[in-house]
Every structure is written in structure tokens, then in C-alpha cells.
Amino acid sequence: MRKNKFYMLSLIAIATSAISANAATTSVATVPDGMITFSLTHGKSSYLSLPLTSNSTYTGAVSAVTTNTISVDDAPAPFTTSLSAATAPYFIKFLSGNEAGRVMLVTANTSSKLTVDTTDHISGAAVALTATGFNVQAGDTFEVFPGDTIASVFGHGTTQDPLLLTGGPGVTTSDTVSLFTTVGAPAVTYYFNTTAGFWEQYGTSANANNTIIYPYSAFAVARRATHPDTTLVLEGRVTQVAAATKIVSKGTVYTSSHYATNIKLSQLQFGSNWQTGTSVLTADTISVWNTTTGRFDTFFQKADSTWRKYGDMVTDQSNYEIAAGTVTTIAKRQTVTGGDSFLQSSLPYTLN
């Protein structure tokens, strides 16, 4: 599993392979690795996502598929260990075919077959791998990569793996991490209990170290006013295929752009699955966390493809930039099923 590295801000030195904010105009020959930094300011809540993932441990092609499994015909069979251990989650990402860009948790495996969570991290109803018009087919390529847990990202509180955040004997004195894990429900809050020596979900006493932070998902970090500023440095790899974002019918999903580079609203080309309109009452909307104001700004797209901000019907917001790694929410007004449950736009950079 990836081990994220943390440093105080004064010690940060970004590697030459760091992701550039101007990557929308960049073409590279390989999938780049790099770092991205997030400032965690005292007395504030920071809304973040993890736009970089670990390097893949396997890349191959599907030989057979069912509603929730894919098989490969490699010889020898490649999956020699468990890919669904609680301490070490793994994910698949489809790299080609109808479901390119879709990311799912591995829930079980044999040496040649992977079972995956087709609810896509409990965002609405399950969408089978065999969904009409959105089906995985033999020959489609995919990769397997290690995922993250709350302890792998924010530390185990040991000498070998110290905490990035500040824990305490209770939630009121601790920094917190809140995960948006269920559509339509409040975020679930976690803190490091220094008495117990592990992460706990607020209101429980069970060890929550292995709680999964899903790739590209939204979460919030609240740093207490009495605790010093710190910085999260995430290292990993950018996505090499256009992200497929799961949405829900007539509901709001907390998510992100999936990209480790800034992206303009004008670069979001969701196609016919995106409902335009004359106001936020008739159109699908995307809301972006504003670090300056500490709230979400809401945008909708008009039929002429330009964007407007809630409260300002005049100014074209097409050049508004969604910052790398920030949190967005998407509200879908239509009923969607199957493949229509995903929004996909082109990559903001090219890979040769």
C-alpha cells in the first residue's frame, strides 16, 4: 500500500515531477508520478480529495465477466494474495471499453477472478458490469492498485508512523476527518483517540484505522484553533483515463474532479447526460468548495455551453478553475440508471 509522506511546510520541496497547474496544455509520454500539497490551517475545515493513486500492481485484459466479477486468463494466475484484506484495500480501474474510468473496490478474489463493489462506494443503486450499453467486454483492459485508509493517510500514531493531525482523549480536543460515505446523509467523523491508541468513529469505541478513504472521494479535515498549521503531502500517479463520476437520480453526490491539476468549467464536457438550463432550478449543478469564503459556490451550464454562478446570471464563469484536489458536489435532476449513472469528460491533459 502507498505510504503518504508528511512534512512541515518549511521543509516542503516539491519534486521536479510534481503535477503542474497548467497541465491542461501538457502532453507527456508516460503516466507521471508527482506530489501535491494541501495546507491544513488551524481553526478551519479543509475540504480535500486524493487525486493521486498508488502505482498499479497489475494491468491486464478481461477474459470473462459477470454482473460483479471479472476474470483473466493469465498463466500463471496473477492474484496470488488476498486483495480484500481490511488493512490493505485494493481497487480496479477500467482503462478501456464502455466503463473506462470507472473505479471500484475489490471485495474478494481468487487467483484469476476479482469480485468488485458495483455500488461504486454506495453512490446510488448498483450498476452491473453487464449493464445494457455499458457492459464490460472480453479484451477490455484494467489495472489493480492499492488503496488508502484513514491511518495510511493520516498516520497510526506510532514512532514509525506518526500522526499528521493532533489527537486527544475525545473528539472535542482532537482534529477530525469527516468522510462523505453515504449519499444524502451527513459526513461520518473520525478522530485519533490518544487513550485508545487508534482512530475512532465519533460515537463509537471500535478501532477505525482501516476505514477506507476511496480514491478521488471527498472528505473534510478540521484543524483545532489551538493546533498549529500543517501540510499534507500526497505522492502518487495521475489518472491516465478520463474519470467516470458516479451520480444519483435527483440527488447530490460529494466528489471531486479526480484530477491533480486545475480544470476550468469550460473543460467539463459531460455531453447529453448533463442537463443544461436557465437556472439552478432547472439545470444539473456542480458546486465547488471555496477555501476563501468557506462555502460551496454553485454553477450551472446554459444551453449555449457557457456557465453561470448561482446569484449571478450575467457573468460567464466558463474560465472558473476547479483547483486540483478540491471537493465538488454534483446535483442531478433527472432519473438515471445503468451507464447514465456516470458523468465523464475528457482528460485535461494528453498522454502519448
pLDDT in tens, 34-43: 889 999 999 9
Flag whether 103 is in a domain.
Answer: yes
- Helix, strand, coil percent content, the chain, rounded in steps of 5: 5, 35, 60
Are 209 and 201 a contacting pair, CB within 8 Å?
A: no
Question: At which of 146, 161, 195 does a domain end?
Answer: 146
Flag whether 340 is in a domain.
Answer: yes
- 135-149 pLDDT, tens digit per residue, is 999 999 999 999 999
Q: How far apart are CA 132 and CA 230, in angstroms?
A: 48
Give residue 124's pLDDT band: very low, low, confident or very high (50, 70, 90): confident
Give residue 183's pLDDT band: very low, low, confident or very high (50, 70, 90): confident
- 327-336 pLDDT, tens digit per residue, is 999 999 989 9
Higher-scoring residue by pLDDT: 62, 349 = 62
At 32 the pLDDT is 60
Q: Which residue has the cell 494541501?
A: 38
Question: At which of 146, 164, 197 does a domain end?
Answer: 146
- 301-335 pLDDT, tens digit per residue, is 999 999 999 999 999 999 999 999 999 999 999 89
Find the range with the poorest average confidence among 68-72, 312-316, 342-346: 342-346
Question: At which of 124, 146, 168 does a domain end?
Answer: 146
Flag whether 230 is in a domain.
Answer: no
What's the mean pLDDT in 280-301? 95
pLDDT at 164 over 90: yes
Flag whether 101 is in a domain.
Answer: yes
Mean of per-residue pLDDT scores for the chain = 90
Flag whether 206 is in a domain.
Answer: no
At 123 the pLDDT is 85
Flag whether 280 is in a domain.
Answer: yes
Flag whether 37 is in a domain.
Answer: no
Query: Which contacts (CB < 8 Å, 24+ apart) does range 19-25 have?
Result: 19/52, 19/238, 19/260, 19/261, 19/324, 20/261, 21/261, 21/262, 21/324, 22/261, 23/260, 23/261, 23/348, 23/349, 24/261, 24/262, 24/263, 24/264, 24/267, 24/348, 24/349, 25/349
Q: How many domains does the chain have?
A: 2
This model's pTM is above 0.85: yes
At 185 the pLDDT is 87
pLDDT at 352 over 80: no
The percent of residues in the chain predicted with pLDDT above 90, rounded, is: 81
At 19 the pLDDT is 39
Give residue 31's pLDDT band: very low, low, confident or very high (50, 70, 90): low
Q: Which residue has the cell 473496490?
A: 105
- 1-22 pLDDT, tens digit per residue, is 344 443 333 232 333 233 333 4
pLDDT at 65 over 50: yes
Higher-scoring residue by pLDDT: 273, 205 = 205
CATH number, domain of 65, equals: 2.40.10
Question: Containing domain of residue 94, as a range?
Answer: 58-146
Flag whether 118 is in a domain.
Answer: yes
